[in-house]
Amino acid sequence: MYQMLFINRLLETSANYFLRKDTSAEKISKGLELLRRGVSILENEGRPAQAANLAFKMISLGLKLDVVGTEMIEMGRTCLKMFVMTSNVKMTGSCLIILTLVLVRHFENTALDDARRLLHENVANIDTDVQEVMKKILKTMEDGDFSKLDE
C-alpha cells in the first residue's frame, strides 16, 4: 500500500513538472497522462476521495488548455463518480460546473446535450445552489450567448 502511495505521489509530482505554464504541448500531454495514471491507481486501490481530487485537478486544467481530447471528459465523469462515492456534495457540484465549462469551451457542438445529461444524472448529488447555477448555464447555452459564461 505504501509503495502504491509513493508511486502515485511520484506520478503527481512528475505531472506537475510537465504541466508548468512554460511547457510545450508534448510535455502537457505527458503530464496529463501521468495524472490519468495516478487517478487510475487511486481508483483501483479503493481511494475515491484522493482519485477524485486528482481528477478534479486534471479537469480544471482543461479550462486553461487550448485543446483537450475526449479523455478529459471521461476524466470528468470519473471525477464525478468518485466524489459521489464519497458523498461530497460540495465537490460533486464544483466538479459538475467545471466539467460543464470544459464542455462549453472545447466541445461546443455537444456541450448542451452533455451538460443536460450530466445534470440529470447528478441532480441528487449536488446542492440547490449548484442546481441553480447549472440551470443558468444551460439557459445561457440554449440562448447561444456563450459570452455570458465569461462573466
Q: What is the DSSP letter of 45?
A: T
Low-confidence residues in the chain, pLDDT < 70: 1-11, 15-23, 146-151
Nearest to 75 by CA among 97, 60, 88, 93: 60
Nearest to 43 by CA among 79, 3, 96: 79
Phi/psi-derived region of residue 46, left when phi > 0, alpha when psi is between -120 and 50, beta in every other case:
left
Supply the pTM of this predicted model: 0.85
CB 101 within 8 A of CB 107: no
Look at residue 20 in the predicted model and tell me its pLDDT: 65
